[in-house]
Amino acid sequence: MEELLFLTLIFLLLSFVFNKRKTLLGVKMGLKMFMNLLPPFVTVLIILSFVLALLPGELLEKLLGADSGITGFFIAAGLGSVALIPGFISYPLAAVLLKNGVSYPVISVFITTLMMVGIVTLPIEKNFFGWRVAIIRNVLSFIGALIIGACMALIWGLL
């Protein structure tokens, strides 16, 4: 937290010295993005707070924890493929999941599918690439996410 504050202040100062107008524009843009993120962000946290309170403590760890194996990967990949969560929200969400027992490799599968695979946005993708390209790209990305998760599990175990 202190590092981030420090980093932001340094960049702000540097930017301000070089160009006042640009700096103000950048800060404004950043704050606008923040305001646009805030309502969906709070909504996701609210839903997550309820889900975590409803689920028995060990269930999440059993399904998506370090020992969940392939099942955990497939649940995470499935959720990540269907969900339509902006990236900026997915990371805080992932941080909360980690705290509640979900393992890093499973998080990597979830995040990768969330970013690379989009079942809900498939119709949009089809408009640009056609069905064949869109579907094959998504299928390959789904497999790729599982491979990334598997490598992550291997390396994470060694570290």
Partner 1 sequence: MKNYLMTYKKDFIIIAAFAIFAATYNFYTPAFGSTVLSNFESAFFEMIAFIPLMFILIGLFEVWVPRELIERHIGTESGARGSVWVILLAMLQVGPLYGAFPVAFLLWRKGASTRNIFIYLGAFTTMKIPMLSFEIGFLGWRFSLMRTLLSLPVFIIIAVIMEKLFERDFEIYEINKGK
Nearer residue to partner 1 within complex by CB, 68 or 105: 105
Report CA torsion sign: 159, 81, 116, 50: negative
Residue 12 near partner 1 by CB under 8 A: yes
* Of residues 87, 106, 85, 100, the one with CA closest to residue 43: 85
Q: What is the CA 57 to chain-centroid distance, rounded? A: 22
The C-alpha atoms of residue 41 and residue 86 are separated, in whole angstroms, by 9
Residues present in the chain in total: 159
Binding track, positions 119-158, relative to partner 1; x by CB under 8 A:
--x--xx-xxxx-xx--xx--xx--x--xx--xx--xx--
Q: Which of 20, 28, 59, 131 binds partner 1 (CB under 8 A)?
A: 28
> Is residue 114 within 8 Å of residue 83, measured between CB atoms?
yes
Neighbours of 102 (CB within 10 A): 22
Which residue in the set 20, 45, 56, 77 belongs to the binding site for partner 1 (CB under 8 A)? Answer: 45
Q: Number of residues interacting with partner 1: please give it, by CB under 8 A.
A: 73
Q: Describe the crossing of helices 20-54 and 2-18 by its angle, rounded to 10 degrees.
A: 160
Q: Is 81 in the site for partner 1 (CB under 8 A)?
A: no
Stretch of residues binding partner 1 (CB under 8 A), selected from 59-67, 68-76, 80-88: 80-88
Residue of 17, 20, 48, 158 that binds partner 1 (CB under 8 A): 48
Out of 60, 75, 104, 135, the residue judged to bind partner 1 by CB under 8 A: 104
Shortest Cβ 71–partner 1 spacing (Å): 21
